[in-house]
Amino acid sequence: MVHALKEAWRVMKLGGILIDQRPLSIYAPLDIVYEGKNDFVGDLDMSPGMEHDDAADHAIEIAIHEGMFAEVLSERFQVAYYWKDVRGMVADIHERWMDDVVYDENLIQHAYHQFRKHRPGARVRILIDMKLARHAKID
């Protein structure tokens, strides 16, 4: 990853901005949203991607230490994913995030129960913590 940052630095103009935007591999709350309210169901464990987060953070630390980039901004924000039902959420996790998300079957059963309780109009929501950082090329 450090090699990729060195290559990015090589082709960027002085003062150019490198954007680091990615989901953070931490727990993501699962909620049932209804009528302007929400019921917290539990947390999805997104820690299987933690080694990638650590590697990315380490690489940028090296690039900053070597004087290639200066941090301009670093913040966190949340992205909400919504589904019409629990089945759709589970299908998406299996199709897109199977290696990145761990959950207990009891959590899914609890989500089904809470969803049925608040129908019609209820939605399933996961909040994913994201990192947004900007780094300027320095010489």
pLDDT for 70-81, tens place per residue? 999 999 999 999
Contact 69, 136 (CB under 8 A): yes
Place of tokens 């010489």: 139
Three-state SS sequence of the chain:
CHHHHHHHHHHCCCCCEEEEEEECCCEEEEEEEECCEEEEEEEEECHHHHHHHHHHHHHHHHHHHCCCEEEEEEEEEEEEEEECCHHHHHHHHHHHCCCCCECCHHHHHHHHHHHHHCCCCCEEEEEEEEEEEEEEECC
User: Does pLDDT of 125 surpass 90?
Assistant: yes
- The whole-model pTM stands at 0.83
* Model pLDDT for residues 46-69, shown as the tens digit of each residue: 999 899 999 999 999 999 999 999
Q: What is the reported pLDDT for 82?
A: 98
pLDDT band at residue 139 under the 50/70/90 scheme: confident
Range of the domain at 76: 2-137
Provide the number of structural domains found in the chain.
1
* Model pLDDT for residues 93-112, shown as the tens digit of each residue: 999 988 889 999 999 999 99
